Structure 1
Amino acid sequence: MRSGSNTKARVAIAGLGAIGREVAAALDKGIDGLELAAVSAANIDKHSEWLGKLGKMPAALPIERLADAADIVIECAPSRLVRSIVAPVVSRGKTVIVLSVGALLENEDLVALARQHGGQIVVPTGALIGLDAMTAAAVGTIHSVQMITRKPLQGLAGAPYLVENNIDIDDIKEPLKIFDGTAREAAKGFPANLNVAVALSLAGIGADRTRVQIWADPTVTRNTHRIEVDSDSARFSMGIENIPSENPRTGKITALSVIACLRKLRAPLRVGT
């Protein structure tokens, strides 16, 4: 996948939800040095009409065959499938881009597996800004990291933490703090919502020292994140308001982040750490 190679790297996408379809469309339209080789989905027939509109029809394969069909696999699937997607890819020394980052906390041995076989797990910036600054600060000493997330009510519907603790947010009229804990705890309680917190923790001081607050907020229409970082090299804060995609749990910028990540692979100028 080095710049200057004329061979296109094959890309596969696991999951054809809002993110997977947008990334597939971008690859079909053209990203330098890459080609969409295969896709996988729980019900591939559901997507057959959409796939038929692409310029070149990718192969429709079971998840376990994606690692053989591609050099890069993009995980856009439910978090419970992360291990079955990532393990075959990295064990073949290939690259996997993971969006369900929270699942990595429950499958930390996948990093060791990638190291053993020369594979790589890539976590794109996604719905968060400032990962470059966090990564740089982590070379020194980070004293504390806190993230405060506010989400529209529909973006939190069905979260395990709410169900297990009998927290009803359907009819609230003002912002309600529903969680205050670590990034690891947030990932377990809100697996479809807090991948950003896990990405932040992996870039910085880890899932057990990164603090997270989650607010259910009927006054907002965007997924908002505010991060405060104190380190020996800098003290900085970051804020972002993400417009939800057709899936209210996911921001539109997440798919764009994956596309930007793919474009960097062979870009003649690469900006950012």
Structure 2
Amino acid sequence: MTLKVGIAGFGTIGAVVAARLHEGLPGLTLAAICSGRQDVAEARARDLGLAVPIVSPADLAERCDIIVECAPTAAFMAIAEPALAAGRILVTVSGAAILDHPEITDRARDGGGQIILATGALLGLDAVRAAAEGQIHSVRMVTRKPPRSLRTAKHVVENGIALDSLSEPLLLFRGTAREGARAFPSNVNVAAALGLAGIGADRTELEIWADPTKTRNTHRIDVESNSARLGLEIENIPTDENPGTGRITALSMIAALRGITTPLRVGT
């Protein structure tokens, strides 16, 4: 059986996922696209050689078995609610939006749907989830990004923080993962995912640095538990189109999609 996939949000991430589906993923086919900018989406679809309709979130939920959500954070609920009400699988990287709308898991349960939070931009979450089945004592994450990757972040813009002329690392935020996800909703979805996988976003410590010595978006996590001590670091190469998003993010969604239909799934 071939499952129909719809993509909501057709920017940096969505276009890469669509192109891979067009090339071919076993058991999956691209059926429709949803975008807040239909003219841009139509032009991009033509460039990629995609002959699929551009539809509304409600139509996407009606047409497709799987919805890949990679739209701006503000559009999350408009996409997620009809998809889950229709019993669809929702694949997303919007950990921050899930923290802001915890009721969405009830919507999934009530509608018979499922939410898959793709987490390839942060390593070690299988081990964190396993440790959470025992007792985790502490979780700490330090994010360091080149200033250009944080230039448009909500917290930076609202506080008028100048990043272009930094000569040394600048601490922008220290607090919980939940607080960080609210201040940087499009920049630290990985922190939200870490909180959801481990001891919760309110007990997960987070620091965010604008670091001119970095050329990659870097995340370091340290976990102390009664089963293991974890010390893990990942350096994600930024995309050219949107430096705040790493190239591995779209690949994470593709891997999540592949895992839905593969006969062998590696990882918990």
What secondary structure sits across from 1:226 in the alignment?
A: strand
1:81-230 matches, within 5 Å, as 81-230=75-224
- Out of 10, 20, 23, the residue aligned to residue 29 of structure 1 is 23
TM-score, normalised relative to structure 1: 0.94
Q: Please report how far the alpha carbon of residue 100 of structure 1 lies from its aligned counterpart in structure 2 after TM superposition.
A: 1.8
1:271 maps to 2:266: yes
Distance 1:50 1:159 in 2: 25
Q: Please report how far the alpha carbon of residue 212 of structure 1 lies from its aligned counterpart in structure 2 after TM superposition.
A: 0.4
Distance 1:266 1:160 in 2: 37
Question: What corresponds to 2:225 in structure 1?
Answer: 231
Q: Please report how far the alpha carbon of residue 93 of structure 1 lies from its aligned counterpart in structure 2 after TM superposition.
A: 1.3
Q: Please report how far the alpha carbon of residue 49 of structure 1 lies from its aligned counterpart in structure 2 after TM superposition.
A: 3.4
Alpha-carbon displacement from aligned partner over 1:167-213 (angstroms, at most 9, x marks no partner) = 32221101111110000110111111000000011001111000100
Q: Which amino acid aligns with 1:192?
A: S
Question: 8 Å contact 2:18–2:30 — kept in the other structure?
Answer: yes
Segments of 4+ in structure 1 off by > 6 A? Answer: none
Q: Please report how far the alpha carbon of residue 27 of structure 1 lies from its aligned counterpart in structure 2 after TM superposition.
A: 0.4
Alpha-carbon displacement from aligned partner over 1:137-172 (angstroms, at most 9, x marks no partner) = 111111100000000111111322223334322211
- Equivalent residue pairs, number: 267
Distance 2:40 2:105 in 1: 33
Distance 2:30 2:3 in 1: 9
TM-score, normalised relative to structure 2: 0.96
Q: Which amino acid aligns with 1:267?
A: T
Distance 2:186 2:62 in 1: 28
State the identity %.
52
Q: Please report how far the alpha carbon of residue 54 of structure 1 lies from its aligned counterpart in structure 2 after TM superposition.
A: 4.5
Assess, with a 3 A threshold, how the Cα gap between structure 1 residues 33 and 55 changes in structure 2: closer, same or farther: farther
**Unmatched tracts of structure 2, length 5 or more:** none
Q: Which amino acid aligns with 2:124?
A: G
What secondary structure sits across from 2:4 in the alignment?
A: strand
**Unmatched tracts of structure 1, length 5 or more:** 1-6
What secondary structure sits across from 1:233 in the alignment?
A: coil
Q: Which amino acid aligns with 1:128?
A: L
Q: Please report how far the alpha carbon of residue 64 of structure 1 lies from its aligned counterpart in structure 2 after TM superposition.
A: 2.6
Distance 2:15 2:153 in 1: 24
Q: Please report how far the alpha carbon of residue 53 of structure 1 lies from its aligned counterpart in structure 2 after TM superposition.
A: 4.5
Q: Which amino acid aligns with 2:264?
A: L
Q: Please report how far the alpha carbon of residue 214 of structure 1 lies from its aligned counterpart in structure 2 after TM superposition.
A: 0.5
Question: What corresponds to 1:250 in structure 2?
Answer: 245
- Out of 69, 74, 78, the residue aligned to residue 72 of structure 2 is 78
